[in-house]
Amino acid sequence: MAALVPNPLYLALREALRTAEPLVEEIEKAVEGPYLYFHNGAVWTGPAARRFDAQFAQHRSRVRGSGDRILSDLRQALARTPPEVTEEEARSIRNRYDLP
């Protein structure tokens, strides 16, 4: 039986997830703060404010949903990817995805 080595794709996906998680969290916090501040009622009121609020809520929802989907896709890809492969498979994966 061939010896197994770390799967370079698994390592790359794990690193991508480690990188993306704090970035998604940072983006969500950057949107959430102003959103909550706007909703305290002291920033802006009136018809234009209500229209802005509706648009802001849509954008906030899209940001959160997109971040969740990105992380979910990375987690699913990582779960489907074996952590170890043969040396031949590892070489093929490195060539296919241009990985070190």
State the residue for tokens 């993306």: 20
Q: What is the pLDDT of residue 80?
A: 98
Rounded CA-CA distance 53/48 in Å is: 8
Q: What's the pLDDT score for residue 59? A: 95
SS3 assignment, position 71: helix
Helix (H) or strand (E) holding 6: strand 4-6
pLDDT score, position 38? 84
Quickly count: other Cβ atoms within 10 Å of residue 27's Cβ: 14
Confirm if 67 and 27 have CB atoms less than 8 A apart. yes
Q: What is the pLDDT along the chain (100 residues), one digit of tens a residue?
A: 789 999 999 999 999 999 999 999 999 999 998 888 888 777 888 899 889 989 999 999 999 999 999 999 999 999 999 999 999 999 999 999 999 9
pLDDT at position 96, please? 97
Q: How far apart are CA 8 and CA 5, in angstroms?
A: 9
